[in-house]
Structure 1
Amino acid sequence: MTKRTNYYNDLLVNYSKRELVSNEQAIKLLKDAETYLSLRNDTLPEITLEYSLEQVEQENKHWWPTHCEALRQGRGDILAGEYVNNLVYFCADGPFYGRTAATNREVNRWAILAQPSVTIAWPIIMFKGEVIYSEWNCFDDETNEVIAKGNETLLRRGHRGSCYLKCEQISFHRDVSASEELLYWIRR
């Protein structure tokens, strides 16, 4: 029998299911996210002996929980800031080129996935250098139904480079478009 993997063994916080993150942790992670955004360069840094793939992978592992918390909290400002200006975003209704085009499309998704009484969880997360792969489910907290699920692959060059390529597959099972109320909440 194949050994099962806990993908969160090496990470600071576990986002594999609901209710594993304390309020104190969430506040700290959002502050960390803002710090990581401040480290981003306007140009993608080169991989060198001084800025190795191993360092990039470690930075991506530190970043991952901040990304999860930003999405759970509906922090569109942080989520948009995680992308470089010339982001390439491939998805079923894409492609989108540039941070503005991508975030203009994603704001609807963020609003649906972060709406009140819904929790997103990432049971699978894998890292290899600058590659990050995840699978996620979004649950209605009252009915336990899965309202959406998907997977994404990100190329993120650590804190200095941020995310420069995103490939995503999403299946919505409810709420395909966000209401104006949810859009207002995510854009705040």
Structure 2
Amino acid sequence: MTRINYYKGLTADYSKPGLVSDELKQTMIELAEKIVAMKDEKLPEISSDYTLEPIEKENQEWWPTHCEALRQCRGDILTGEYREDLVYLCQDGPYRGLDKQKEREKHWWALIAQPGVTMCWPIVMFFGEHTYFEWKCVDDETNETLAKGNVTWVRRGHRGACYLKTEQLTFYRDVFAPDSLLKLIKA
């Protein structure tokens, strides 16, 4: 079986802790803010003017910015990555729209981005408007896995953002974040 470096050709490698410089982290956040601002009010159609090829390239450009936004508890960016009419299918869902998703997901963000743990995405794959990834959250001191999951985003590039998200997630330590961690999420 051939081993694959899923980050080959991407701007940054988030497959494990310690691979992204402080300078690149800042660059990823600045780019994430620009990408969120590119979202069209209406979901753009796939057409001869906006094909799956550039959409996939935009998703590959966006991916490292998403990882850094999560590591830095940037809930404002993470929520901005979704369309207003998001459909989110997971074991706690389904969620439609951003209100219910935002309330539930802030607990998940607080747990997986808390101080002393590092979120990692060892596998990421792109196909047109589909981005599939597997993630895990690792305790920096004990190397314990706090949570893990796999996700598929249907994201129509920068202009379309994410309109469908499916996720299987497993939390091993906590499911709801305490207020002290929730306060770390930038709204």
| Cα drift, residue 84 of structure 1 | 0.3
Shift of 1:75: 0.3
SS in 1 for 2:91: coil
Which structure 2 residues correspond to residues 24-173 of structure 1 after superposition, within 5 A? 24-173=23-172
CA RMSD of aligned residues (A): 0.8
Q: Which residues in structure 2 correspond to 1:2-41 (within 5 Å)?
A: 2-41=1-40
List structure 1 runs of 4+ shifted beyond 2 angstroms.
none
State the 1:16 CA deviation. 0.6
Q: CA deviation at 1:126?
A: 0.3
1:187 Cα deviation after fit: 3.9
- Size of the aligned set, in residue pairs, is 187
Report the 3-state secondary structure (helix = DSSP H, G, I; strand = E; otherwise coil) of the residue aligned with 2:110. helix
Moved more, 65-74 or 176-185: 176-185
Q: In 1, distance between residues paired with 2:153 and 2:40? A: 18
What are the Cα deviations for residues 37-96 of structure 1, in whole angstroms up to 9, with x where unaligned? 110011100111111100000000000000000000000000000000000000001000
Relative to the length of structure 1, the TM-score reads 0.98
Aligned mates of 1:29, 1:43 — CA distance in 2: 25
Q: Which amino acid aligns with 1:142?
A: E
Between the aligned partners of 1:101 and 1:55, the Cα distance in structure 2 is 31
User: 1:86-128 CA distances to partner (integer Å, 9 max, x unpaired)?
Assistant: 0000000100000222111100000000000110100000000
Distance 1:116 1:109 in 2: 14
Q: Output the amino acid matched with 1:15.
A: Y
Identical positions, percent: 55
Letter in 2 for 1:172: F
